[in-house]
Structure 1
Amino acid sequence: MKTIQLQGQQLGTNSPPLIVAEMSGNHNQSLNRALEIVEAAAKCGVHALKLQTYTADTMTLDLDKGEFFISDPKSLWSGHSLYELYQQAYTPWEWHEPIFKRCQELDIIGFSTPFDETAVDFLESLDVPCYKIASFENTDLPLIRKVASTGKPLIISMGMASIAALDETVRTAREAGCQDLILLKCTSTYPASPENTNLMTIPHLRELFDVQVGLSDHTLGIGAAVASVALGATFIEKHFTLSRADGGVDAAFSMEPYEMKQLVEETERAWQALGQISYGATAAEQKSLVFRRSLYVAENIKAGEILTPQNIRRIRPGYGLAPKYYDLVLGKTAKQDLAKGTPLSWDVLL
């Protein structure tokens, strides 16, 4: 599987998973808070921070009725029009440069999700190192062509996409010039439940499209993300906020700093634990072999005496004959006196 370079960070199975903190609208319309989020993310050890680049007008129409109004009482955003929601959540475009500059100063990757062609042109003017396509835009083939034509690595969330639709998306990206493609398993509910996360899709995606695969995770906690590493995820994205109590459009399913730090640490541990196919004692286990059971003299035995279950036992440590020889030595005769606590060996038996 091809290793991808993202601004000095290696993305692939030979490196720990690349962890991305998604700011989204958690800045709550404060640039100072946005910069604090960048700083907190860097302290947590994340490798990258992602924005979303749009305006309410590039996302939808300014209407507050019908399909443009969220009336579902189960939705986090019930009672708002789409336009109102995007006005509240968007990141002002003039903030992008100082946010990306702070990322650079803190040695983490800064990039974004564009939602239309004007956003791509704007982000190109800032020379972002890569692009992300959101699940709701993974069927917007003109947008995907535009982003792919930059030649930069492209990350696509596959939320709601059928295999047929995803195949069309991948072919479109590749035909438009994308050489470095990462597909993210994603469940487009907010928050997502573990039962609907279906992590087994990750290795299947990798086999189908021969690409690096990761997880855009909207579940609460870190369990799903850590588990994804065992299935081959090399890229993990989670929404991030300073504090859920501060509110915001995405706060309810965003991670706080202590959780993000834990995610970075535990996913790296999970990656380290994968290792390789291995049987027998590892080099680190060699010293532990002596703590296996073996055959020992349990009572003083005189020369010529028969070995019995009373005077021979299978015990720790492992300096005597292996336990598998127990039945074979019973009934044999001691060649010499044997003191209690002597490890049994063939040379003391007739």
Structure 2
Amino acid sequence: MNNSVIEIAGRKIGPGFPPYVIAEISANHKLDIERCLMLIDAAADTGADAIKIQSYTPDTITIDSDRPEFLIRGGLWDGYRLYDLYKEAYTPFEWHPALFERARKRNVTLFSSPFDRTAVDLLASLDAPAYKIASFEVNDLPLIRYVAQRGKPMIISTGMANLGEIGEAVSAAREAGATQIALLHCVSAYPAKIEDANVATVPHLASAFDCIAGLSDHTPGIGASVASVVLGGSIIEKHFTVSRADGGHDAEFSLEQDEFRNLVHECKAAWAAVGRVNYDLLGSEKGSIMHRRSLYAVKSIAKGEMFSAENVRSIRPGNGIAPKYLPKILGGHASRDIAFGEPISWDMVQAS
């Protein structure tokens, strides 16, 4: 397959196709399966192309330790031990069949980020159509190889990774059999500052690693996402919730339903607007071209009278001779009577 195109659940993704917009539910379900199912319904209603969850347990992503390096300092989750945070944020494995079934009923693609082999095996058993590697796992080459062996498209976030580490991840995936890889530029801060977005990185990723690229966006609003689409980004991933006021560990940097619907609309509109380099007259412009400027008689002109700046001017509309010929017309003589408001044509100009 062309490295500039991948396909997830029958949807082709790449520069020649509208951007693929992913709604990330993450921890916004607040450990309530009914809320998680509701979030799937709400995300589907926005027109998102896909919905993503995360597949881990507290024990597969970290350990229950009180050592100081397991304590989060600063940011949204300041003071949490890693184990305690993930115990509140994880999506239980036993929910997964119901979540995939709800997505199928809503005719929307669902896939996940696995964080260990047990999660990969679970997702494979549910016939997940793609796999996402989170930024914090981009250096876990054994996990990347294990995912690649599933033979499904892989989307890899690159937050915190340098070019060398991204190259190692891509090589590991390809060597293990992955043929469809997308890289998402990502700033792994929650939320990320818009001035740190650096979406110019998106096309560079595509060029450097001969694959499609996009943005995993943690900035406020939709500006960074739309900008990345304009620069050639083929995938947009953004956190989703129904209400930031409801809380949830990721709520602060998530979009609500109307905002996410706007994200989907504006990203696809931006892609459509980029189009191609074109200087031809478009069909939609044909009704406007007559309103361009041209030469008109702004006073009545008698046969034989000289054309001057007082009786001929460049005005709208555009039915007369083009304004660039005004110097050639001035000083010439009218071949017939010309009424006020008539467009000037060459047959009105007396041959010299």
1:65 Cα shift? 3.5
Match of 1:288 in 2: 288
Structure 1 residue 64 displacement after superposition? 2.8
Tell me which residue corresponds to 2:128. 128
Give 2:162's aligned residue: 162
Q: Does 1:48 align with 2:50?
A: yes
Which residue is equivalent to 1:100?
100
CA distance, structure 2, for counterparts of residue 160 and residue 93 of structure 1: 28
Pairing partner for 1:62 from 55, 61, 64:
64
Letter in 1 for 2:7: Q
Alignment of 1:157-306 (within 5 A): 157-306=157-306
* Structure 2 contact 4–15 (Cα < 8 Å) conserved: no
CA deviations on 1:145-192 (whole Å, 9 max, x unpaired) are 000011100000011111111111111100000000000010000001
The question of whether the paired residues in 2 share the 8 Å contact of 1:65 and 1:81 is answered with no
Stretches of structure 2 lacking an aligned partner (at least 5 in a row): none
Answer yes or no: is the 8 Å Cα contact 1:23–1:240 preserved in 2.
Answer: yes
Q: CA deviation at 1:2?
A: 3.4
Is 1:31 aligned to 2:33, yes or no?
yes
Matches within 5 A, 1:323-334: 323-334=323-334
What's the % identity of the aligned pairs? 51
Partner SS for 1:121 = helix
Q: CA deviation at 1:14?
A: 2.3
Distance 2:104 2:117 in 1: 25
Q: Deviations over 1:64-95 (max 9, x none)?
A: 341101132xx100111000000000001111
In the aligned structure 1, how far is the partner of 2:4 from the partner of 2:224? Answer: 25
Distance between the aligned counterparts of 1:248 and 1:349, measured in 2? Answer: 78
Query: TM-score, with normalisation over the residues of structure 1?
Result: 0.98
Residue aligning to 1:144: 144
Q: State the Cα RMSD in Å.
A: 0.9
Name the stretch that deviates more: 62-71 or 188-197.
Answer: 62-71
Partner of 1:308: 308
| SS in structure 2 at match of 1:342 | coil
1:15: Cα distance to partner? 1.9
Structure 1 moving runs of 4+ over 4 Å: none
Q: How many residues align?
A: 348
Q: Indicate whether 1:110 and 2:110 are aligned.
A: yes
**2:18 maps to 1:16:** yes
Q: Which residue of 2 aligns with 1:88?
A: 88
**Which amino acid in the other structure matches residue 82 of structure 2?**
L
- 1:59 deviates by 1.1
Alpha-carbon distance in 1 for matches of 2:319, 2:47: 46
> Structure 1 regions of 5+ residues with no counterpart?
none
CA distance in 2 between partners of 1:42 and 1:64 (Å): 40
